[in-house]
Amino acid sequence: LLVDGFAETLAARLASYPSVQVTRSRVSEDETADVRTVARKTGSDLVLGGSMLREGERIRVTWRLVDATTGREWQNLVEGTASDLFAIQDRLATSIAETLDLRETGSRRSIQSPASQERYLEAVGLLRNYDRTETIDEAIAILRTQGASPLVHAALARAYLQKFQNGRDPSFAADAILFADLALRADPQN
């Protein structure tokens, strides 16, 4: 779940750059070897993949970016501690953005507590299983314990929107709108 949450929030960070459009797709280990197939399936020019290793408190995230047309590759790794997951995530996004020479505007507000960061990422990871009501409910339960922040409100909006899409209960749409408005008011860049 932590890896899924990392992937989800990294995709959102990269999508914040005006020149980037992010398309996410899970691919099998065999497919990652054939970058052109992945690019064709996703309609992408660049394919980003990576892995996360954790040993105790140490975390290492490696990434590989491939230009599907030219075959040019970039790769790097980012390390840190589990107590500062958002800093690792920020360094990861910055490393990729610098490789692509991307420019970001505005500031980013994050969750401060290391335990809260990990729980937030777990909840976002759960939301990747959008077709399973129980995982969405579990994500909502986690997010509701994380306090009021634009990141949490945006994730709650997404969770309730998915619940609405899965069951068409209008109360979930109302909750999605409420949390989206709270997130946007607190952080218009979110």
Instruction: Report how far residue 165's alpha carbon sits from residue 29's, in angstroms, rounded to the nearest whole number.
Output: 31
From the CB of residue 24, how many other CB atoms can be counted at a distance below 10 Å?
14
Tokens at 60, concatenated: 């290492």
Average pLDDT over residues 87-91: 90
Average pLDDT over residues 21-29: 65
Phi, psi of 46 (to 5 degrees): -120, 145
Instruction: Report how far residue 10's alpha carbon sits from residue 22's, in angstroms, rounded to the nearest whole number.
Output: 10
Residue 31 CA: distances (Å) to CA of 38, 41, 96, 169: 7, 10, 22, 38
Rounded mean pLDDT of the chain?
Answer: 83
- Which residue is it, tokens 């998915």? 162
Sequence-distant (6+) residues with CB within 8 A of 30 are none
Per-residue pLDDT at 124 exceeds 60: yes
Instruction: Report how far residue 130's alpha carbon sits from residue 26's, in angstroms, rounded to the nearest whole number.
Output: 14
Among the listed ranges 48-52, 129-133, 134-138, 162-166, which one has the minimum average pLDDT value? 129-133
User: In this structure, are residues 110 and 151 in contact, taking their beta carbons and an 8 Å threshold?
Assistant: yes
Per-residue pLDDT at 29 exceeds 70: no
User: Structure pTM?
Assistant: 0.56
Percent of the chain past pLDDT 90, that is, above it, reads 36
Alpha helices, DSSP H, located in 50-190: 85-99, 114-127, 133-143, 150-167, 170-186
Average pLDDT over residues 88-96: 90
